[in-house]
Chain A
Amino acid sequence: MIPAEQRVILKYLDEPGYTNDIECYIRHGGYEMLRKAFTMNPEEICHEVELSALRGRGGAGFPAGMKWKFLDRKSGKPIYLICNADESEPGTFKDRQIIHKDPHQLIEGMMIAAYATGTKLAFIYIREEFPQGANILEKAIEEAQASNFVGSNILGSGYSCDIIVHRGAGAYICGEETGLIESLEGKRPYPRIKPPYFPAVLGLYQCPTIVNNVETLCNIKHIIEIGGEDYSHIGVPGATGTRIWCVSGHVLKPGYYEFAGGAITLGELIYEVCGGMRPGRRLKAVIPGGSSAKILRADERYEGHLRDGTAFDWGIDDIPLDFDSFMAVGTMSGSAGVIVMDDTVDMVQALANLNAFYAHESCGQCTPCREGSLWMKKVSTRMCNGKARAEDVDLLASISKQIEGRTICAFGEACSWPTQSFVSKFKEEFAAKASETRSSTDNNGNRLI
């Protein structure tokens, strides 16, 4: 039996006849939770979010309630809220759906979060490649302003807050929250060093700032609806609520699917929900959490102990879809972008493809990241072009270990983990490639670089 989705965030957005205007949203109970929020005080809302144990959906999985608690409320400076709608991690495509098909859900979640955090002004930072998305959000905000859900003295509460839609200009690093803040200040999006620049203390214009992902903010609405305690019972401890998994690559039914935390396994997602492999093809590898997550090899066994001490011995299919299980097998659920590869894929070419992405997107501030990402691209690409040198496999591994921990932002880890994991898990394939003298970029008839 195909495991049934538990659609909370995605509840209406693909229903026939559901449109992204405010009338439709209100017909479906929209903005009732904002009304409810105004019957509570901000501290109560923050407390509910803490009880919910909601973890950020943008990649790092940081508990939202804790982030809000770090907010420096005593500084006397204005507080800002930023919705991270940069969605640029390869393999991730859920925020696009919410923005285009259900923008008011995001706005409602944002306004509740804004009220709870005492935000003076809120922003949605949206990537340049979503021009229609930006227009849809602008229109939705206008509608919400006209209905007094956004703007001054919202619903007579005495609380006022506006939302500004701010478009990026094609740089992945603007998804990193401090790079995003620099970009919003009108500067080059060079990430800031933490400490001291934790956004909750020194964020936008050096004021306390909360940055949350689109999906995280949508969840706030549902926490208000059912209460933090009940929300925390959806899913499993450490992965409460639902999560939208984005599946791409070699499955018959790629797409976005919403399940409660830990409700199904990776095998169920791939073979049942997504219809499995193409006829005659076998699973070779999976990148489980956006391109930066370490790759999992299909024929490997994963043994160890979970955080609570229980032992596990899993094949790739047995890994439950939650934060801690992916950590336990040495990777991460990251942005929940699951990239599936079958046995037609040449791993060196797949890595060279990703390395081209990272070399293009490094902001260039830190030498190990700027130079390392470029070297990893050059070495993996020349291996595909029949120009490998004998030492290239070791060289790749060595470069990839000299970046992480030596950079200003987590892009350093993000760009090294693919190379580290591809090379260590598919060593024989890399070694074979290193001894090839002819160019082999055909990848069974489908070029990847």
Chain B
Amino acid sequence: MNLKPETLERIEAVIPKYPVKRSAVLPLLHYMQADQGYISQEAMEWIAGKLEIEPINVYELVTFYPFFRQKPRARRLVRVCRTLSCALSGSYKLCETLQKELDCTLGNPTADGEVEIEFAECLASCGTGPVVMVDDDFYDNVDETKAAAIVAKIKSESGKGAAEPVSED
């Protein structure tokens, strides 16, 4: 496994925190996905070895939890909340707008592999819907103006490392 030194550091630091090693499997999967972009077969085997469990014990988590991916994904992940309160405030329309502006369809990355949009279930900010996450950044009350700003920002960062979130005002 070719992991960044800081990933290895985080892994070594987190395991001894838990009374039982196996409990560290979710944090390890998180660090692994942050490092590699997805969870490969090799990564699952590596984690299993590290925590002294069977690879199947890791695999069954990767297939269960929606957040983990077994294939490389687009560089940017846009999540649009579709659950009732956000839907009542227009999240389905917002999702269509984002697909059009970013030139991709739900669940299918852009041709250049840059952006992917998916629906999320309730993101626990229902009073300020529609709600969107771009990677780890959170946006609420996403009206047309805000949506345009998010799109412009994603486009401007295309090919570069992730930068600061769009300002809230």
Contact = CB atoms under 8 A, between A and B. Distances in A.
Given A169-B29, A353-B83, A87 B124 contact: yes
Interface string B88-116: 11101100000000000000000000000
Given A88-B122, A183-B26, A361-B121, A171 B85 contact: no
A166 B27 contact: yes
A29 to B, nearest CB: 28
A310 interface: no
25 contacts: A91-B122, A93-B124, A93-B127, A96-B124, A127-B124, A128-B67, A166-B23, A166-B26, A168-B26, A169-B29, A171-B66, A185-B23, A186-B57, A187-B22, A187-B57, A205-B19, A246-B126, A248-B88, A249-B88, A254-B126, A254-B127, A291-B83, A353-B83, A447-B87, A447-B93
A78 B67 CA distance: 32
Interface of A: 78, 87-93, 95-96, 121, 127-132, 162, 164, 166-172, 183-189, 205, 246-250, 254-256, 291, 337, 339, 341, 345, 350, 353-354, 356-357, 360-361, 446-449
B122 A89 contact: yes
Contacts of B22: 185-187
Given A170-B65, A188-B61, A247 B83 contact: no
Given A250-B88, A446-B93, A337 B83 contact: no
Contact of A171 (B25, B65, B122): B65
Nearest to A337: B126
Given A93-B127, A447-B92, A167 B65 contact: no
A256 B126 CA distance: 10
- By Cβ-Cβ distance, the 3 closest A-B pairs, closest first, are A169-B65, A248-B126, A248-B85
A446 B94 CA distance: 10
A298 B64 CA distance: 39
Contacts, number: 146
Given A360-B121, A447-B93, A339 B126 contact: yes
Interface residues of B, number: 46
Given A169-B65, A249-B88, A448-B88, A96 B125 contact: yes
Contacts of B17: 162, 164
A201 to B, nearest CB: 18
A95 B19 CA distance: 27
Contacts of A127: 124
Given A93-B126, A186-B26, A291-B84, A448 B19 contact: no
Contact of A129 (B29, B84, B128, B133): B133
Given A188-B64, A250-B88, A256-B127, A90 B121 contact: yes
Given A256-B127, A357-B83, A169 B66 contact: yes
B30 interface: yes
B169 interface: no
Contacts of A361: 121
Contact of A254 (B123, B128, B138): B128
Best-buried of A129, A131, A449 by chain B (most CB within 10 Å): A129
